[in-house]
Amino acid sequence: MEKAIQVKGLRKSYKDKEVLKGVDFEVRRGEIFSLLGSNGAGKTTIIRILATLLKQESGTAAVNGFDVAAKPDQVRQSISLTGQFAAVDEMLTGRENLIMIARLRHLHHPRQIADDLLKRFGLTDAADRKASTYSGGMRRRLDIAMSLIGKPQLIFLDEPTTGLDPEARMETWRIVKELADGGTTVFLTTQYLEEAEQLADRIAILHEGRIIANGTLEELRKLFPPAKMEYVEKQPTLEEIFLAIIGKKEAV
Ligand X SMILES: Nc1ncnc2c1ncn2[C@@H]1O[C@H](COP(=O)(O)OP(=O)(O)O)[C@@H](O)[C@H]1O
Among 19, 86, 168, 170, binds ligand X (CB under 6 A): 19
The torsion region of residue 181 among left (phi > 0), alpha (psi -120 to 50) and beta comes to alpha
Considering CB distances under 5 to 8 angstroms, the limit depending on partner class, which of Mg ion, ligand X, none binds residue 185? none
58 Cβ contact list (under 8 Å, min separation 6): 9, 10, 11
Which lies closer to ligand X via its Cβ, residue 40 or residue 225? 40
Number of chain positions touching ligand X (CB under 6 A):
10
When asked if residue 14 is in the footprint of ligand X (CB under 6 A), the reply is yes
When asked if residue 40 is in the footprint of ligand X (CB under 6 A), the reply is yes
Question: Is 183 in a helix, a strand, or coil?
Answer: coil
Residues 179 and 186: beta-carbon distance below 8 Å:
yes
Residues 144 and 172: beta-carbon distance below 8 Å:
yes
When asked if residue 44 is in the footprint of ligand X (CB under 6 A), the reply is yes
Q: Centre a 10 Å sphere on the Cβ of residue 28 and count the other Cβ atoms it contains.
A: 14
* Span from 43-51, 96-104, 145-153, 224-232 in contact with ligand X (CB under 6 A): 43-51
Among 1, 2, 39, 229, binds ligand X (CB under 6 A): 39
Closest separation in Å from C-beta 43 to ligand X: 3
Q: How far is CA 249 from the centre of its chain?
A: 23
Closest separation in Å from C-beta 128 to ligand X: 35
Considering CB distances under 5 to 8 angstroms, the limit depending on partner class, which of ligand X, Mg ion, none binds residue 41? ligand X
Q: Burial of 6 by CB count in 10 Å (0-12 exposed, 13-18 middle, 19+ buried)?
A: middle
Closest separation in Å from C-beta 230 to Mg ion: 36
Rounded to whole angstroms, the Cα distance separating 196 from 20 reads 21
* Span from 38-46, 65-73, 75-83, 126-134 in contact with ligand X (CB under 6 A): 38-46
Name the residue number minimizing CB distance to Mg ion: 44
Among residues 90, 112, 114, 86, the alpha carbon closest in space to that of 100 is found at 114
* DSSP code of residue 130: B
Among 5, 33, 44, 86, binds Mg ion (CB under 5 A): 44
When asked if residue 37 is in the footprint of ligand X (CB under 6 A), the reply is yes
Q: Which residues bind ligand X (CB under 6 A)?
A: 14, 19, 37, 39-45
Q: Which residues bind Mg ion (CB under 5 A)?
A: 43-44
